[in-house]
């Protein structure tokens, strides 16, 4: 099992010194990756993120310069928000500057008012996402890229740099719906849902494996990941469905349950209150489960 830390590039800890400290601690403690989230604007109709939301790629580029080996991931980029040609350049540049450490998590998005603010058609987000993934891969892998789709068309261009990772950085597709699973199988290298319990995951993994078989894809070459809240506590009021919140014994059982369903990568969103408690949780988990 591999483990990553979702950084607070939004909310009250979206500050340079805080993010740097979490990142350096994650690398020192043996975590495999750090991850950032994505929103461009926060509609007043939605609460929960806080007002501050740092750009994911500028944040990761900044952190790449202060790290050496830890992977740099997005959980997840809302793909319809960005021109895919520009995004391909951003990601391949980051992959070159970080010497091949990028994992690109992408999703179709869900916050309709944000789509409206950005002038992006909400009702077409699925088809846009599918096409944009194909555009990214075309630009990253073809010596003479050309593309003609519903939304994007280009030819007679040069695209450099190519990513360090070949054929391209891993693309993990977020979302728990059937269409997201189908998108992951058809266009991605992995599936990256959020918040599913092992029981919920089991049903969806069965569908995922059916789709992989139909597409003649090797399941051993396809990553199943999960992003879940992590809290180490002896509180008695934690819901049993909060698989990775509770005592170390409960968390150990939860990790084994995820392993049994084929999960090979867990990204933790830390729920530990004050900032020093986030660091304490990271260290405790590292000592008990990683080292």
Burial per residue of 269-286, b for 16 or more beta-carbon CB atoms within 10 angstroms, e otherwise: bbbbeebeebbebbeebb
- Strand, coil or helix: 3: strand
Complete DSSP assignment for 84-131: HHHHHHHHHHHHHHTTS-EEEEEE----HHHHHHHT--GGGHHHHHHH
Q: What is the pLDDT of residue 48?
A: 72
Does 213 have pLDDT greater than 80?
Answer: yes
Any idea what DSSP says for residue 79? Answer: G
Model confidence band, residue 47 (pLDDT cutoffs 50, 70, 90): confident
Residue 271: closest CA among 238, 240, 225: 238
Residues 27-46 pLDDT 10s: 999 999 999 999 999 998 88
Complete DSSP assignment for 217-257: --GGGSEEEEEEEEEE---S---TT-TTEE-HHHHHHHHHH
Q: What is the pLDDT of residue 291?
A: 76
Please give the CATH superfamily to which domain 2-290 belongs. Answer: Luciferase-like domain (3.20.20.30)
The C-alpha angle with vertex 181 and arms to 175 and 184, in degrees rounded to 5, equals 95
Residues 140-177 pLDDT 10s: 999 999 999 999 999 999 999 999 999 999 999 999 99
Annotated domain spans of the chain? 2-290
This prediction's pTM = 0.97
Per cent of the chain over pLDDT 70 is 100
Residues 111-141 pLDDT 10s: 999 999 999 999 999 999 999 999 999 999 9
Residue 40: closest CA among 118, 98, 156: 118
| Residues in contact with 67: Cβ distance below 8 Å, sequence separation at least 6, in sequence order | 23, 24, 27, 34
């Amino acid at each position: 099992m591999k483990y990553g830390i979702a950084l607070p590039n939004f909310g009250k800890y979206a500050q340079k010194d805080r993010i740097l400290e979490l990142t350096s601690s994650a690398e020192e403690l043996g975590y495999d990756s750090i991850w950032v989230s994505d929103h461009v604007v926060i509609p007043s109709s939605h609460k929960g993120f806080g007002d501050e939301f740092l750009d994911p790629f500028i944040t990761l580029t900044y952190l790449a310069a202060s790290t050496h080996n830890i992977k740099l991931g997005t959980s997840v980029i809302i793909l319809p928000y960005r021109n895919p040609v520009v995004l391909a350049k951003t990601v391949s540049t980051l992959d070159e500057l970080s010497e091949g450490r990028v994992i690109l998590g992408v999703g179709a998005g869900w916050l309709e008012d944000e789509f409206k603010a950005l002038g992006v058609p909400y009702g077409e987000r699925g088809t846009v996402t599918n096409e944009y993934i194909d555009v990214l891969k075309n630009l990253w892998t073809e010596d003479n890229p050309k593309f003609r789709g519903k939304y994007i068309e280009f030819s007679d261009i040069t695209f450099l740099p190519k990513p360090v990772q070949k054929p391209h950085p891993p693309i993990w597709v977020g979302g728990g719906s059937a269409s997201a699973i189908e998108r992951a199988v058809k266009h991605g290298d992995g599936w990256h849902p959020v918040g599913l319990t092992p029981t919920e995951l089991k049903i969806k993994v069965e569908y995922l494996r059916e789709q992989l078989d139909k597409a003649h894809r090797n399941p051993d070459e396809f990553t199943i990941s999960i992003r879940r809240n992590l809290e180490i506590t002896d509180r008695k009021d934690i819901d049993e469905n909060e698989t990775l919140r509770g005592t170390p014994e409960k968390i150990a059982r939860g990790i084994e349950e995820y392993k049994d369903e084929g999960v090979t990568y867990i990204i933790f969103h830390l729920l530990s209150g004050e900032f020093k408690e986030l660091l304490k949780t990271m260290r405790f988990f590292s000592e008990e489960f990683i080292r």
